[in-house]
Amino acid sequence: MRILLLGYGKMGKTIERIAIERGHSIAGKIDVQNRHEMDALAAADVDVAIEFSAPEAAYDNITYCLKRGWPIVSGTTGWLEHRSEIENLCMQQQGAFFYASNYSIGVNLFFRLNRQLARLMKGQAYRTSMTEIHHIHKLDAPSGTAITLAEGIAAENSSQKGWKLAPEEEDGFVQIEAKRLGEVPGTHIVRYESEVDTIEITHTAHTRAGFALGAVISAEWLPGKTGVFGMDDLLEDLD
């Protein structure tokens, strides 16, 4: 496949390496300074776009691809207040849009574990909180992954209404502490605390390769489909 990379930073470069290892070619590497190069590409030059850019750039990038008729896989976090607009545009254009706050297969198994644990903890007298740890360059907080984890807990337990970013705290909301340390690729801890004990589950990414591989597999899966998709759709197909 010919893959257009939108955002050529840490993730764009890791995705490029893995895509080439899997036999794909790169149709273009677009970043802030060469966005005009996208206009020179013919629709048929691109089989799929993979977008890992910045919170303020994702909406325009995804919109551009949908209007060009290019299936698009996006992993950028921190822009989801515009998600329903993008989903509507995708339907209008009869396009293909794939989004995940985290493309790592391990994290997606962790999402399932998180929901199972939330079911078990329903009705128990524990305080629920989370810590996410990322590198100091990260622009958004809390992480998209932490938000997905909090949404998973709320979906399983109606006494949890959402999340608050620490130091804000409110009963019925999962408090998320966001730490920024060195070059940490991404660590997420979900915690239940009572007077007598603590239960924690942790996912630790050792490198970005897991995120990048998941994004490339999603890009291999998406072309030829119409609609809005996520990791559950992909994993169901792979199961």
Ligand X SMILES: NC(=O)C1=CN([C@@H]2O[C@H](COP(=O)(O)OP(=O)(O)OC[C@H]3O[C@@H](n4cnc5c(N)ncnc54)[C@H](O)[C@@H]3O)[C@@H](O)[C@H]2O)C=CC1
Q: Which one from 13, 29, 82, 138 is the annotated catalytic residue?
A: 138
**Would you call 24 a catalytic residue per the annotation?**
no
Q: 115 is in the binding site of which of ligand X, ligand LZUJQKHR, none (Cβ under 5 to 8 A by kind)? A: none
Ordered DSSP codes for 84-104: HHHHHHHHHHT-EEEE-S---
Closest to ligand X by CB, 103 or 173: 103
> Binding of ligand LZUJQKHR at residue 144 (CB under 6 A)?
yes
> How many other CB atoms are there within 10 angstroms of residue 138's CB atom?
16
Q: Do β-strands 48-51 and 72-74 pair in parallel, antiparallel, or remain unpaired?
A: parallel
Q: Do β-strands 48-51 and 2-6 pair in parallel, antiparallel, or remain unpaired?
A: parallel
Which chain residues interact with ligand X by CB under 6 A?
6-12, 30-32, 35, 52-54, 57, 61, 75-78, 100-103, 211
Closest to ligand LZUJQKHR by CB, 46 or 147: 147
> Binding of ligand LZUJQKHR at residue 7 (CB under 6 A)?
no
Closest to ligand LZUJQKHR by CB, 79 or 192: 79
> Binding of ligand LZUJQKHR at residue 76 (CB under 6 A)?
no
- Exposed / middle / buried, residue 44 (Cβ in 10 Å: 0-12, 13-18, 19+): exposed
- What is the number of residues in the chain? 239
Closest to ligand LZUJQKHR by CB, 110 or 173: 110
> How many other CB atoms are there within 10 angstroms of residue 90's CB atom?
24
Q: Is 132 helix (H, G, I), strand (E, B) or coil?
A: strand
Q: In the bound complex, what is the minimum distance in angstroms from residue 133's beta carbon to ligand X?
A: 13
Q: In the bound complex, what is the minimum distance in angstroms from residue 206's beta carbon to ligand LZUJQKHR?
A: 12
Separation CA 235–CA 4 (nearest Å): 23
CA distances 233 to 21, 86, 98, 99, 195, Å, are 25, 18, 10, 11, 40
**Would you call 188 a catalytic residue per the annotation?**
no
Separation CA 153–CA 171 (nearest Å): 14
Q: Which of 12, 71, 152, 186 binds ligand LZUJQKHR (CB under 6 A)?
A: 186
The residue ranges that bind ligand LZUJQKHR (CB under 6 A) are 77, 101-102, 134, 138, 143-145, 186
Which active-site residues does the annotation give? Answer: 134, 138
- List residues forming the annotated binding site for NADP(+): 35
